[in-house]
Structure 1
């Protein structure tokens, strides 16, 4: 079904379906189709809202869940970009048709929610759920090819990723969206000198504390950065002491400011586990979940094929090609270097039970992966999309096509 701004407003009618029955029906309707439904009448609007709250035991499975957004961009023509989204509440893939946009450079993502484009002369960022709005600002003072980028409050932090022989590899700059000025900050800790790039670091932002957290993927060594004082704190060791060798790790914040640590155990991916980290001491608090073995085997098989391709194309093995996006209590684990394969999802319980629900879905955004492998790159992020976001997108001429029901 196509959802556009043209079919939002429907004629007022006397509706014979009310209350729990109507709400139960809406529980099974894709989120994009609930936008026009919410315009039918006030009773329908209230029923739509109730079906998305997830407040009771009966409705919890049907609450809104963060979408996974996948942008596929041509490496030859950066303006040629397609957008797909997976809605885990509705179990559907959606293709999003957007108005033409001028891409200044390759599209990139950071800490699950932020998209940006960086060139020697300009810098653009977008952080709203469907990336409808872009902020175009002056390029940072130092040119960077693979930096870490974070949005902390009204400040944009860009660190590392410099041309090693020309600039300080640990340089940190911060842009204030209110004052429209760049500032130099304390450099990254010297221990990160050999890994000061987004390829080797995982970052997370605590919006309530206005802090950025950085962890070295291969070691689990972490630091925090406070933009209000422009300084770093640490180091902290996030590696759990009771587990085997962790070959690669990632961090992200779930609901209630819980810092989640994802560890890939063993060089051949013996297991993938999730831990909760204490937000104050940055010490591992407890293990909260382990990926089922059948999903590990699925991920392992795909990863080995991908690593083999990396060996052919780049002549050297890359760090683990597995990546993670996290928002609220929902974790996506996927391959960062390909558009195909499976996407593993984990729904973390928001209470103290520690329950995790693991599932997987096939990535169907591109049918012929081999054909496009060398001419396209993918950028993945995670967003909490609500009816207001969809309503705004539709009013700005975006179109949503339910591509495939899973």
Structure 2
């Protein structure tokens, strides 16, 4: 029997870790880095099953996990829960009789009800992948910050292509575009990690970085 995944919170002021209740039993250990994603939204830490659609949130004040619920729109192959601006968003790949599509949904954090916000143009989706098998989409990853949601492919043979959707506040208008390719030559990365931050890179690496 597999153990539940442990959870710890780091306190930067005290330079110490606090052991918290583990993830609910629905989230098994195993290859969690490929099967789970997470996000911080309104003082709650969300954990989401990329393929299962299971979702639970950790109350950072009360230090308790919510009941596990399922967030899985019809036809979804895989999806990621993202904190984007003032909204909780779901980004995922769907497969139906008309083929594959990559959709964005707005999620109500109280009811877990969802509504479609945008669909990636087919030409951009095609630039991310070059075959029709569902297994190819295991390399798809998403990350969001502010009004932007980035979608990228971890496969080296495609030179890690990426797209971005910019969501205009209040109006909800969405604009998709492709992110420029990495400069040649592109080395093969052992692991690709996508993240967004408001902290300038020179604050982290030092003022000599340009």
TM-score (norm 2): 0.83
In structure 2, distance between residues paired with 1:271 and 1:349: 22
Corresponding residue number in structure 2 for 1:274? 104
Corresponding residue number in structure 1 for 2:125? 296
1:378 matched to 2:200: no
In structure 1, distance between residues paired with 2:136 and 2:5: 22
| Bigger share in strand | 2
Deviation at 1:196, TM superposition (A): 6.8
Partners of 2:57 and 2:65 within 8 A in 1: yes
Q: Give the CA RMSD over aligned residues.
A: 3.0
The counterpart of 1:349, out of the listed 168, 187, 205, is: 168
Change (3 A) 1:396 1:272: same
In structure 2, distance between residues paired with 1:303 and 1:221: 26
**Residue pairs, 1:124-135, within 5 angstroms:** none
Higher relative contact order at CA 8 Å, sep ≥6: structure 1 or structure 2?
1
* Superimposed CA distance per residue, residues 231-276 of structure 1 (whole angstroms, 9 cap, x where no aligned partner): 2102222223xx3x211100111222x0010011129x70000000
Corresponding residue number in structure 2 for 1:254? 84
Deviation at 1:189, TM superposition (A): 0.9
Question: What SS class does the counterpart of residue 320 from structure 1 fall into?
Answer: helix
In structure 2, distance between residues paired with 1:205 and 1:301: 33
Partners of 1:250 and 1:261 within 8 A in 2: yes
Partners of 1:236 and 1:283 within 8 A in 2: no
Partners of 1:341 and 1:362 within 8 A in 2: no
Deviation at 1:301, TM superposition (A): 1.3
5+ residue gaps, structure 1, are 1-163, 308-316, 400-406
Corresponding residue number in structure 2 for 1:85? none
In structure 2, distance between residues paired with 1:190 and 1:394: 39
Q: Which has the larger radius of gyration?
A: 1
Deviation at 1:384, TM superposition (A): 3.4
How many pairs are equivalent? Answer: 208
1:332 matched to 2:150: yes
Change (3 A) 1:390 1:379: closer
Partners of 1:217 and 1:249 within 8 A in 2: yes
Corresponding residue number in structure 2 for 1:220? 53
The counterpart of 1:179, out of the listed 3, 8, 14, is: 14
Deviation at 1:288, TM superposition (A): 0.4
5+ residue gaps, structure 2, are none
Question: What SS class does the counterpart of residue 234 from structure 1 fall into?
Answer: coil
**Residue pairs, 1:7-406, within 5 angstroms:** 168-193=3-28, 197-206=32-41, 209-240=42-73, 243=74, 245-256=75-86, 258-266=87-95, 270-284=100-114, 286-301=115-130, 320-338=138-156, 340-351=159-170, 353-365=171-183, 367-369=184-186, 372-373=187-188, 376-384=190-198, 389=200, 396-399=207-210
| Bigger share in helix | 1
Change (3 A) 1:260 1:397: same
Partners of 1:220 and 1:237 within 8 A in 2: yes
Deviation at 1:391, TM superposition (A): 7.7
In structure 2, distance between residues paired with 1:280 and 1:376: 38
